[in-house]
Structure 1
Amino acid sequence: MKAHEIMIPNVFKVKENDTIRMVVKKFIDHNISGLPVVNEQNQIVAFISDGDIMSYIGKHDDIILDMFFLVSYFQGDEDNYEDRIKEVLDVNVMRLATKKIVKVQHDTDIENIATMLAKRQIKKVPVEKDGVLVGVISRGDVIRQSFKGLLDDQ
């Protein structure tokens, strides 16, 4: 079985110029946890997940990683969770998104997809054909397809 046979073709996605506000809105509206980030040609340029956002809004006690935090530190402003939540909404998606994209081609075998998802410990992977986004496959899609029909016999 190939990727194009099990992928979800109607992909929720964001553009590289969108903000985290748009990402979070899609996460909430569609009950999802990750989105491909595409350019104007619908080419996959990054992937944004709930984990990427969680890393940003989590407390940074030991190292001040972000310019906002650095400025706040020197100005004496208290860095708190509510402030980080509000600040992140207007951050460009590309600032937090993973740019080393794990993706598969439309003709990739399901076994290779299962192996990739397991080894990389990721929840979903974008599917491309001729360099453009055509779908997405989640771990659940692979599990459902792999065991389809096997449980009905017992």
Structure 2
Amino acid sequence: MRALDIMTTPVITATTDMTIQAAARRLADHHISGMPVVDADGKMIGIVSAGDLLHRAELGTGAKRRPWWLDWLSSTRDLAATYVKEHGHFVGDVMKDRVISITEDIPLKEIADILERRHIKRVPVLKDGALIGIVSRSNLIRALGSLEPPHDDGSHDDAELRAAIVLEMHGQRWGLPKGSVLVKDGVVHLWGVINTEEEGHAIRVAAESVPGVRRVESHLVYPGVNISL
């Protein structure tokens, strides 16, 4: 799946001359936490989010008054920018003009990586410079919820299941060797020594992810515990 498959369209947008109050109402009315800012030609020039409207003089939520010496150490540029964020009247005063964007053909894995790495909740989708959609974290969650579990026709035998489980763990430092995986009538028995609870969890999930597995029984132990196969 790619951005085109899950993006929201049409996109709720703002303009630079929209008042802060109007922008806040639009965010609230559409139950969104951010929206692109476009110019008269519809070209995206920024983005405004609820975070940009959080510290406002009207609400008494402005930045906490700091000791005079901290203000003295701060640059006038930073002080002026903070004042504008708290007192600006229009979206153009508070929006971010450096915006990360993607194209419609970018895979979902790359989108998830961008959202996580950049600590952002949404990313606009552009085509030939024009705004055509937006992908948010909620779009990715909805895409996940729309997927159906893999269909299993029940034709796997125990040897096939065992081989598939070992293959699923192949290349993982926490994976078990083939001799530590036993399958009987679709029930998987895991034997071996693990160092952490997380390793045991990963091994169990790997076994459960193989279609045809009926149940997983873990006999994994920590170092120093005697086991017998």
What's the TM-score once normalised by structure 1's chain length? Answer: 0.76
- 1:12-71 CA-to-partner distances (Å, cap 9, x unmatched) read 101122121221110121111101000112111011001011134533212553169xxx
Alpha-carbon distance in structure 2 between the residues aligned to 1:108 and 1:16? 29
Alpha-carbon distance in structure 2 between the residues aligned to 1:120 and 1:151? 31
Alpha-carbon distance in structure 2 between the residues aligned to 1:151 and 1:59? 48
Alpha-carbon distance in structure 2 between the residues aligned to 1:146 and 1:32? 20
Query: What are the within-5 Å matches in structure 2 for residues 1-154 of structure 1?
Result: 1-57=1-57, 58-60=61-63, 61-62=65-66, 63=71, 65-66=82-83, 91-146=89-144, 148-150=146-148
Alpha-carbon distance, 1:133 to partner: 0.8
Alpha-carbon distance, 1:130 to partner: 1.0
The DSSP-based 3-state class of the residue aligned with 1:112 is helix
Partner of 1:72: none
Cα pair 1:2 1:107 within 8 Å, conserved: yes
RMSD over aligned Cα atoms:
2.4
Letter in 1 for 2:129: G
Cα pair 2:45 2:97 within 8 Å, conserved: yes
Letter in 2 for 1:9: T
Alpha-carbon distance in structure 2 between the residues aligned to 1:27 and 1:112? 27
Please identify runs of 4+ aligned residues in structure 1 that moved more than 4 A.
150-154
Alpha-carbon distance in structure 2 between the residues aligned to 1:59 and 1:53? 10
Alpha-carbon distance in structure 1 between the residues aligned to 2:24 and 2:150? 38
- 1:106-130 CA-to-partner distances (Å, cap 9, x unmatched) read 1211111110011111111111111
